[in-house]
Amino acid sequence: MSDPRFIWTAIGLMVGVVGVTVGALEAFIAFLFTGAGWLIGKYMAGDIRIVDMLLERFFSDMLWGPRN
């Protein structure tokens, strides 16, 4: 139960459910929150490396100076 993906998915689902009353649009919004929570959980667990690669590629000049 301490898996970050589960925790973030549950948080995303709760936020989505709180915002949902009835209807297709609200259900879609809940789905988006759940998906975002799942992605954040996967990133926090270290399963998604692409974000780190993109940050390093585009912001490395700001962090470590220009490349030679």
| Confidence check: pLDDT of 64 > 70 | no
Cα–Cα distance, 16 to 49 (Å, whole number): 26
User: What is the model's pTM?
Assistant: 0.50
Structure tokens given for 5: 């993906």
Provide the domain limits for residue 35: 4-64
**pLDDT, tens digit (0-9, with 9 covering 90-100), for 28-40:** 777 788 888 888 8
pLDDT at 61 over 70: no
Average pLDDT over residues 13-23: 70
Question: What's the rounded mean pLDDT across residues 2-8?
Answer: 82
Can you tell me the distance from the alpha carbon of 33 to that of 46, in angstroms, rounded to the nearest whole number?
A: 20
State how many domains the chain has.
1
- For residues 18-35, give the mean pLDDT: 73
Q: How does residue 25 score in pLDDT terms, banded at 50, 70 and 90?
A: confident
- CA–CA gap between residue 33 and residue 44 (Å, rounded): 16
